[in-house]
Amino acid sequence: MNTFTKEVMSVGEMACGTKLTVPVFSFKVAEEQKTGPDVYIQANMHGAEVQGNAVIFQLLELLPHCQLNANITLVPYANPLGNSHKSGEYTLGRFDPITGENWNRMYHFDQSIIEPFVKQYIDASDDEIEAKFAQLLTNEIEAKLAPSVWGLSTGQRIAYQLQRLAHKADIVLDLHTGPISSKHLYCSEYSQASAKYFNIEHTLLIPNGFGGAMDEAIFCPWWYLQEAFADSGREFTMGQGIFDKEAYTVELGSQEQIDLDVAKGDAKDLLTYLQYKGVIGGAEYQPKEMTRYACHLKDYKTFYAPMGGMVDYLAGFGKPIAAGEPLARILRMDVYGDSRLGKDDENTTKALHYVSLEEVAIPILHFASANVTQGSELYKVFTNYFEI
């Protein structure tokens, strides 16, 4: 028997005392029916990245019709402060306006807990190790959230409460978008084999190291634990009977817009992965036939605007672009007519500047505005990519 619940979690307070709240939806299965890994899905940690909320809505519509083998928790509007951070008609919401820190870089992991834990449990059973370490991670977050004379920043308070929910799961999906972007997936290097089950054509393989993001906060502790046990002479392999933890950042396209029809397809694509992992039963959701490209994070390159101006973005997303093929052209009306020669071709040459790369690449996203200063992040591209 499955149960569905909705709770409202308070994650902070405004200056006037109004509570900052987040909805938390949960599907729970009876313990005797549970055969798959538990799942946590959140969306909208960055204010402008709203498509994930539509995907969670569609998941809430689809999941009651699925055979559930595990518990699933879904959290839209994960950052109510970022979601409300507007300037004119635009949502800013990527950085804490007080500290300037990225909202998705405030999660917690203290690597110093690993070595003492391994020494204490070097001879324990696999099940005990997994249960005790999961409890340790939760205890760490509880300690962070406990009343303290020093307190917590706004971003930390939000992040730690979300992380407390995420640590209860074996699979974590953090839904984001880019500025103007194709769909792509941030995937740990050790879980590359799972990437094809998301039905996303482009995968970024990230090192198994912690940088403060939600996905890293979930899988990195287990990766480091595995390595520490190996150094002590006890071998585990992530995902094979123990430490079966996976976490991903799923980039769903462009910010500041939702499309409920597209979101339904995105939800079904996520269910393809969850079916593969045994979270839901049946065979309704299958991987699509597509060419899937990947690159390592070190080969995910940013092209910065060589000059200020108005940008006409030429390169489409997702397909390789040849070396020398224009990425964009930059319009500089301030220099039009400076030659005073009256020659249209020379005036045009001065005013229009084509920019390109010197190597083959796959454009993944570009800056949201056509109005750029010199040094603006113009495009992000895959280089040294390969098929998976």
What is the full DSSP assignment across 201-218? SEEEEE-S---S-HHHHH
What's the pLDDT at 362? 98
Lowest mean pLDDT among 139-153, 259-273, 328-342, 347-361: 328-342
DSSP 39: E
pLDDT digit string (tens) for 109-144?
999 999 999 999 999 999 999 999 999 999 999 999
Spatial strand order in the sheet of 377-382 = 180-181, 362-366, 377-382, 300-304
Burial of 170 (0-12, 13-18, 19+ CB in 10 A): buried
Pairwise CA distance, residues 209 & 221, whole Å: 9
Average pLDDT over residues 174-183: 97
The domain locations on the chain are 2-290, 299-387
Residues 6+ apart with CB under 8 A from 284: 271, 275
Most confident stretch, 86-95, 244-253, 329-338? 244-253
The two tokens of residue 295 are 């690159």
Average pLDDT over residues 170-182: 97
pLDDT digit string (tens) for 296-320?
999 999 999 999 999 999 999 999 9
Fold of 2-290: Aminopeptidase (3.40.630)
Task: Band the pLDDT of 1: cuts 50, 70, 90.
Answer: confident
What's the pLDDT at 344? 58
Task: Band the pLDDT of 236: cuts 50, 70, 90.
Answer: confident
Does the pLDDT value for residue 234 go beyond 60? yes
Task: Band the pLDDT of 340: cuts 50, 70, 90.
Answer: low
Pairwise CA distance, residues 32 & 39, whole Å: 17
Pairwise CA distance, residues 298 & 302, whole Å: 11
Its CATH class, for the domain covering 299-387, is: mainly beta
What's the pLDDT at 171? 97
The two tokens of residue 353 are 């500047």
What's the pLDDT at 166? 98
Task: Band the pLDDT of 343: cuts 50, 70, 90.
Answer: low
Spatial strand order in the sheet of 352-356 = 352-356, 326-331, 309-313, 371-372
Does the pLDDT value for residue 342 go beyond 60? no
Output the CA angle 341-351-314, nearest 5 degrees.
145
pLDDT digit string (tens) for 53-100?
999 999 999 999 999 999 999 999 999 999 999 889 889 899 999 899
Average pLDDT over residues 260-285: 97
Does the pLDDT value for residue 345 go beyond 80? no
Which ranges of 254-342 does DSSP label H, i.e. alpha helix?
260-276
Residues 6+ apart with CB under 8 A from 121: 128, 129, 132, 133
What's the pLDDT at 237? 73
Average pLDDT over residues 349-353: 86
Burial of 342 (0-12, 13-18, 19+ CB in 10 A): exposed
Does the pLDDT value for residue 232 go beyond 90? yes
15 close to 8: Cβ distance less than 8 angstroms: no
CA separation, residue 180 to residues 49, 119, 153, 230, 244 (Å): 11, 48, 30, 43, 34
Between 208 and 260, name the one with better pLDDT: 260
What's the pLDDT at 149? 87
Pairwise CA distance, residues 176 & 42, whole Å: 9
What's the pLDDT at 242? 67
pLDDT, mean over the chain: 94
Helical (H) or strand (E) element with 280: none
Between 238 and 280, name the one with better pLDDT: 280
b/e 123-148 (16+ beta carbons within 10 angstroms → b): eeeeeebbeebbebbeebbeebbeee
Burial of 371 (0-12, 13-18, 19+ CB in 10 A): exposed
Q: Residue 158: what are its φ and ψ, rounded to 5°?
A: -65, -50
What's the pLDDT at 227? 92
Looking at the DSSP assignment, which residues form a beta bridge with residue 326? 356
Looking at the DSSP assignment, which residues form a beta bridge with residue 309? 372
Fold: same for 2-290 and 299-387: no
DSSP 350: H
